[in-house]
Every structure is written in C-alpha cells, then in structure tokens.
C-alpha cells in the first residue's frame, strides 16, 4: 500500500508542477473579472466539494471567479441557456440524468474535444475508465467526457468470518466451487441473491461473460448479433451459473426471497457470498448480523485467472459544452479535478473521488468500510465493465434484460436447462435486433 501511495504522490507532484506552471502563464493573460460558470448536479455527493474546489481554483488563478450553480434539477435549469447558445462553461452531470440534456449534447456533437487535457492525465487514470463509449461517444478515439465519481458492484462477504476460518475470496470458477465445498463443511451455503429480483446477478454474470469472451464478444451480445449467445465461452459461464443451484451451493429458498430478505440471511451468515453494490451497507444498517461482521468485497469469478478481469461499474462524467465562452479556462478547471488538492477535498467533502491511481486511499476513514472495500478492487488488476450485454431497444414490448434474468429462478432450480436459456435469449435477440437504438 505504501508503494501505491508513493506512486500516486509522485504522479500528483509531476502533474501539479506542470499545472502550476501553466496557471502562472495563463493567469498573466487573463483579464480581470473573468467568470467561469459551472453547473453541478446536486445529488448524493452534495455541493460542498464544488464550492471548495471553486475557491481553490480561484486562489491559483488570480482574476478568475468561479460561479457554481448546483441543484438536483440542474439539467432542467441549464437547458434554456443551452438552447439559447449560452451554456455553462463546465458541467458535472451524469449522461444518465433524466433531464436528457447530456445525451442531447452528445447527439448534437455539442461537446468540446478534451483529448489534449486527458493526454496529460492518462497515466494517472485507472485502466478502462477512458477507453469506453461514455468518454468517447463517437468511437473516433477522441475524449469528450471525463470520468468523475465511480463505483463498483460485485460479490460481498464477511471479511472477519473468512479470515477466522482461513477462507479466501475466489478468483476463478474453480476457486468459487472449492469455496462452496468448504461452505458446506461450515454448515453454510455458498451463495444467495435477491430471488424475486434476479437482475442483481448482473454484477456476477456480466463481468464473467466479458472475461470469458473478451469485450468484442460482450459487444456482440449487446448488438444482438446472431449466434452471439451460442459462444462456447458464454456457455461455460452459464453452465457455472446453473451449477450454483443444481449442485446445491445456493441457499435454500433463495428464489422466493426479496432483496432485504436475502440480504438479511447473508448478514446472519447463512450464505458466504451475495451480489450487490456498496449501498447495501446503508440499506441494511439496522439489520441484525452475525457477531464481528465486517464487509468484504471481491470480483466475480473468471474461467482463467490469466484472462482480463472485470468488475461491473458505473461512473459520472464532467464535460465542456462546445459553445462555452471560456473553453480553455474550463479545460484547466477540468484538469484541476485530478490534482492532489482537489482529490483530497473531494474525499473529505463529497466522500467520493475520480478514478485516479491511489485516490481511493484518501477515502479511508471518510467513507464506509463497504465503499472503501469496493474501491480497492481496481488496485488488484480489475478493469471496469461499463454497460451490459443488452443494447437499448425501442418500439417493442420486449425487454431483453428482463427476458434473460426472469429465467434464472428456473435455471437455479433445474426446471429449465442452459440450452433452453441460450435458445430463448437468441430468440429474443433476433426479435429485437432491428429495434436497437444506435
């Protein structure tokens, strides 16, 4: 951990020195009274960080004032100005925001190419967080949105129980089922999930498929390519999913439980592993649990320990409208978000950080143990998996993701076979492929 922190500080120093030099040069050319308008989605991370980082940026750039507009409905607030050709200079708002403003900016190609900024930060940003369709929406190798707050979903376990009983979190599917045998010896089940909400298993299944087929095979599924789900590697993954139930590694009664019931059983020690996001800690804060319970987090198992490994992830974005008045200053402000000073402020005030090497260490002691555990997975060679193997479709009543997961209960109980599961998924893909939103 000390080596990781040293690497992080070294990277920070080099970028900070360059940033400071640039600040001095640029400040000389900035006129008195320059105002940088930033628009911020005020959600779970609050606005305190943005006020603080605005002040810090002003101190480093004499003559600049950063005006922060933050609101839970920021998309609706800034839309009129965007339509009038007077957008803010900088925006923090997820592309999944319900206002649709971010998606409209992408569709209209109304964002600034920030590749030049990102090239100076690339070595510091965790692998996988730049080379994706969220940051590069046009597939042209250019970056238009930068990653901000990120999170991971995966498998959770009681770290104290594992350590006390000499258990190790699984890496491969062989490890996974070997752990299942040890669980039986300890009079526990290996796995439970939110039975009537089977899509929680996306954090188990999606990364396992991506690791098995590579991102190309994963994308083929998302594009509803004919035969994508008949890939032998996907078949091996789905066979393993079915084996959880067939070979009695699944906690009895799981398929009939709702999310809080399944999570309660897991907290009480009736199953070793359970899929979820870090929010489970807050969601189950008042639920009983076995003595000494301590949150532990691991990634889904892979077929081969040497293949690329993934964790189902999400992140929120920051970006600059093409019609912004102060594009170059906005670029400096965007780069500043990845500085040591900003990351420290972010960890303290928002309890979140951008995906920067070593940045998660600044969260230790400021966020919940569950959240900290999930951040650590990216220091262990895992890459983020962004998206799902079911592309967005329109003008059809079929929901491919639901069609896939709604079969899981019958797969686990042996009422349906993996062959039937694959055949049904292929059939649905064929029916919706012409409705894929591109």
pLDDT at 23: 41
Q: Measuring CA to CA, which residue among 401, 399, 394 is closest to residue 435? A: 394
What residues are paired with 35 via a beta bridge? 65
CATH number of the 153-312+388-435 domain? 3.40.190.10
Q: Measuring CA to CA, which residue among 157, 204, 167, 199 is closest to residue 301? A: 204
Give helix then strand counts, H and E, for the chain.
Answer: 17, 9
Q: Measuring CA to CA, which residue among 271, 20, 259, 67 is closest to residue 161? A: 271
Whether this model's pTM surpasses 0.75: yes
Token pair, residue 176, equals 């996974």
pLDDT at 28: 40
Q: 251 with 189: CB under 8 angstroms?
A: yes
The residue whose two tokens read 């040591």 is 340
The residue whose two tokens read 């492929």 is 433
CA–CA separation, 277 vs 371, rounded Å?
9
CA 29 to chain centre: 39
Domain ranges of the chain: 35-151+313-385, 153-312+388-435
Longest dimension (CA), the chain: 73
Series of mean pLDDT values for 10-residue runs along the chain (438 residues): 47 44 41 85 94 98 97 96 97 92 92 97 92 88 95 95 98 98 98 96 97 96 96 98 98 96 98 94 93 96 96 95 97 96 93 91 86 89 91 90 96 97 98 89
The residue whose two tokens read 């498998």 is 155
Sign of the four-CA dihedral 75, 76, 80, 81? negative
CA–CA separation, 269 vs 189, rounded Å?
9
Sign of the four-CA dihedral 13, 15, 21, 26? negative
User: How do beta strands 271-277 and 189-191 pair?
Assistant: parallel
Size (the chain), residues: 438
DSSP state of 40: E
Q: 109 with 138: CB under 8 angstroms?
A: yes
Token pair, residue 358, equals 């070593």
Q: 62 with 25: CB under 8 angstroms?
A: no
pLDDT at 289: 97
CA–CA separation, 11 vs 5, rounded Å?
10
CA–CA separation, 116 vs 239, rounded Å?
45
Question: In CATH, which of 3.40.190.10, 1.10.246.90, 3.30.420.40, 3.30.70.1400 is domain 35-151+313-385?
Answer: 3.40.190.10
Do 35-151+313-385 and 153-312+388-435 have matching folds? yes
pLDDT at 44: 86
Q: 346 with 340: CB under 8 angstroms?
A: no
DSSP string, 65-124: EEEEEEETTHHHHHHHHHHTT---SEEE--TT-TT-HHHHHHHTT-B---HHHHHTTGGG
Q: 143 with 130: CB under 8 angstroms?
A: yes
């Amino acid at each position: 951990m000390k080596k990781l922190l040293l690497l992080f500080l070294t990277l920070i120093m080099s970028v900070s020195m360059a940033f400071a030099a640039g600040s001095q040069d640029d400040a000389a050319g900035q006129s008195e009274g320059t105002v940088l308008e930033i628009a911020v989605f005020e959600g779970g991370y609050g606005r305190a960080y943005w006020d603080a980082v605005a002040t810090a940026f002003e101190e480093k750039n004499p003559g600049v004032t950063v005006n922060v507009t933050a609101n839970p409905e920021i998309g609706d607030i800034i839309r009129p100005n965007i339509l009038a050709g007077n957008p803010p200079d900088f925006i923090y708002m997820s592309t999944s925001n319900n206002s649709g403003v971010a998606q409209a900016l992408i569709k209209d190609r109304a964002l600034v190419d920030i590749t030049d900024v990102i090239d100076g930060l690339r070595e510091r940003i965790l692998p996988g967080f730049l080379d994706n369709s969220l940051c590069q929406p046009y597939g042209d190798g250019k970056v238009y949105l930068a990653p901000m707050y990120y999170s991971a979903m995966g498998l959770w376990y009681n770290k104290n129980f594992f350590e006390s009983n000499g258990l190790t979190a699984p890496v491969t599917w062989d490890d996974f089922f070997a752990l299942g045998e040890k669980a039986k010896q300890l009079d526990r089940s290996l796995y439970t999930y939110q039975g009537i909400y089977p899509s929680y298993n996306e954090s188990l299944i999606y990364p396992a498929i991506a690791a098995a087929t590579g991102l190309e095979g994963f994308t083929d599924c998302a594009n509803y390519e004919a035969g994508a789900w008949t890939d032998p590697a996907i078949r091996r993954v789905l066979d393993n999913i079915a084996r959880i139930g067939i070979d009695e590694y699944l906690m009895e009664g799981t398929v009939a439980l709702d999310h809080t019931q399944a999570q309660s059983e897991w907290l009480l020690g009736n199953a070793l592993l359970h899929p979820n996001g870090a929010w489970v800690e807050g969601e189950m804060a008042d639920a009983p649990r076995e003595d000494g319970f301590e949150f532990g987090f691991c990634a889904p198992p892979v077929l081969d320990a040497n293949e690329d490994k993934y964790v189902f992830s999400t992140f929120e974005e920051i970006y600059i409208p093409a019609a912004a008045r102060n594009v170059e200053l906005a670029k400096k402000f965007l780069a500043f978000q990845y500085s040591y000073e900003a990351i420290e402020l972010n960890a303290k005030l928002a309890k979140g950080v951008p995906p920067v090497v070593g940045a998660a260490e600044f969260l230790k002691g400021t966020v919940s143990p569950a959240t900290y555990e999930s951040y650590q997975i990216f220091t262990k060679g895992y890459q983020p998996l962004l998206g799902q193997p079911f592309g967005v479709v329109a003008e059809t009543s079929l929901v491919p993701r639901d069609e896939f997961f709604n079969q899981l209960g019958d797969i686990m109980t042996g009422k349906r076979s993996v062959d039937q599961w694959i055949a049904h998924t292929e059939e649905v893909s064929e029916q919706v492929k012409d409705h894929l939103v591109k």
